[in-house]
Amino acid sequence: MELTNDQTDFFETFGFLTFRGLFSPNEMGTMLRESNEIMSADRDGNEVGPPIRQAVQPFFERRPYLHSLITDSRMLAIADGLLGKDNYFMELTEGNLHVGDTAWHGGFGSAEILSHIKVSFYLEPLVRETGALCVIPGSHKGDFSERLSRISDRAEDPDAKVWGVYPRDVPSYAIESTPGDVLVFKEDTYHGAWGGHPGRHQHAINYVQLPKTDEQHAHVRQMYEKSKYSFRPVKQNLESDDQVLRRLQQPMVDWGFEVQSV
């Protein structure tokens, strides 16, 4: 699989890209089973429920099929196409059971410094009204991004109107999806979700462009220092037989970032 120029250009222009039916129903069944095992173990068998969202990081490293996906040829083709071949590392895997709405967020300003892609799986059919990821196309950069900070500044209040409209009515594109679709977006692209049921699965692998300039290196270190799990290589990846997986984690070791274990 190789991305077309249209796909890479679409991603740079709008800040997201969708791959329909990239994974088979069988593969999605395995992903769901392994994800449920991890989540259930993480909450000691208790039910997931409001108001607590469940997030596990690192996530994919905890089960064999999920673990294999970090270097799956489809994932690497996406990262090669959007970040450049041999030009990225794998920053973090994450698993989420979302509860309630996700307020608008994005516009962190990092898209201008260093590219970061979040390759996401949603494990049930989703439409706009039931928690499909909504994005504001083209909101990852520049003046448009700055203008939109007004909606994330008011994120805590779902009744706060900006430009006379409620948050869920801000013009957006809903990436309606079925299991097997893969959604790729930049964290900087403004995104949110409304109307999902408690326990909506979203799991993701994050790949980041390798820093080259001083500004990019400083940015990566800053992200590392302000987070608990991000930008930390995983022991199980570093000790893997998979040479590509080791290579995707080694840069963080070289920068002296702490190793974590699952």
Ligand X SMILES: O=C(O)CCC(=O)C(=O)O
Residues 204-223 interacting with ligand X (rule: CB under 6 A): 204
Q: Closest approach of Cβ 122 to ligand X, in Å?
A: 7
Burial of 101 (0-12, 13-18, 19+ CB in 10 A): middle
Entry field: residues in the chain? 262
133 forms part of the interface with ligand X (CB under 6 A)? yes
Q: Rounded to an integer, what is the distance from CA 250 to the centroid of its chain?
A: 21
Q: Closest approach of Cβ 193 to ligand X, in Å?
A: 4
Among residues 140, 134, 51, which one has the least CA distance to residue 97? Answer: 51
Binding segment for ligand X (CB under 6 A), chosen from 70-78, 165-173, 187-195, 212-220, is: 187-195
Residue closer to ligand X by CB (options 168, 247) is 168
186 forms part of the interface with ligand X (CB under 6 A)? no
- The secondary element (H helix, E strand) that includes residue 33 is helix 25-42
Residue closer to ligand X by CB (options 122, 240) is 122
**Tokens representing 75?**
């994932």
Q: Closest approach of Cβ 187 to ligand X, in Å?
A: 6
**Tokens representing 86?**
């041999």
Q: Closest approach of Cβ 243 to ligand X, in Å?
A: 29
Residue closer to ligand X by CB (options 123, 204) is 204
Residue closer to ligand X by CB (options 182, 240) is 182
Cis peptide before 58 (omega within 30 of 0): yes
61 CB-near residues (< 8 Å, 6+ apart): 67, 70, 93, 234, 236, 237, 262
Binding segment for ligand X (CB under 6 A), chosen from 44-52, 141-149, 170-178, 186-194, is: 186-194
Measured CA to CA, the distance from residue 231 to residue 259 in angstroms comes to: 9
Residue closer to ligand X by CB (options 202, 240) is 202
Choose which of 92, 193, 208, 248 interacts with ligand X (CB under 6 A): 193
Among residues 202, 208, 207, which one has the least CA distance to residue 183? Answer: 202
141 forms part of the interface with ligand X (CB under 6 A)? no
Residue closer to ligand X by CB (options 98, 240) is 98
Contact 145, 151 (CB under 8 A): no
Contact 61, 239 (CB under 8 A): no
116 forms part of the interface with ligand X (CB under 6 A)? no
Question: Which letter does DSSP use for residue 167 in this model?
Answer: G
140 forms part of the interface with ligand X (CB under 6 A)? no
How many Cβ atoms are within 10 Å of 99's Cβ, its own excluded? Answer: 18
Q: Closest approach of Cβ 53 to ligand X, in Å?
A: 9
102 forms part of the interface with ligand X (CB under 6 A)? yes
202 forms part of the interface with ligand X (CB under 6 A)? yes
User: Rule CB under 6 A: which residues touch ligand X?
Assistant: 98, 102, 118, 133, 187, 191, 193, 202, 204
